[in-house]
Amino acid sequence: QVQLMESGGGLVQAGGSLTLSCAASGSIFSISAMCWYRQAPGLQRELVAAITSGGITNYADSVKGRFTISGDFAKGTVYLQMNSLKPEDTAVYYCAFLAKSYYWGQGTQVTVSS
């Protein structure tokens, strides 16, 4: 069974940076997109960033210019470089791969202190 594992979360001060990583434990064929979502307490899960196998990226307005998504579709890895972090970026961040099915990671906590 394929699993996605995130890493890189933690506690950082406002204005700081973190890089999240996500890797698949097995082979996932025909990945069409890799995404990062986040969910803050009491709020719905939201799409933060996505990258397609054709290299097209998409970002939530709230993170444009601060976050950068990159990935290696052959290796099944995706990254999220987060700069100029704000307290409102505090959330559990999940990676997700879209292939024949939607695969989800277990989440990693990001906490930004003011």
pLDDT of residue 12: 98
Report, in this order, helix, strand and coil percent for the chain, each rounded to 5: 5, 55, 45
* Residue 20 pLDDT > 80: yes
pLDDT of residue 65: 98
Q: Which DSSP letter does residue 105 get?
A: B
| pLDDT band at residue 21 using 50, 70 and 90 as cut-offs | very high
Which residue, among 55, 113, 76, 73, has the nearest Cα to 2 in the 3D structure? 76
Looking at per-residue pLDDT, the higher value among 91 and 1 belongs to 91
Phi, psi dihedral angles at 88 (to 5 degrees): -70, -5
- Reported as a single tens digit per residue, the pLDDT across 72-111 is 999 999 999 999 999 999 999 999 999 988 999 999 999 9
The one-letter amino acid at 109: Q
Report how far apart, in Å, the C-alpha atoms of 9 and of each of 17, 38, 63 are: 10, 12, 17
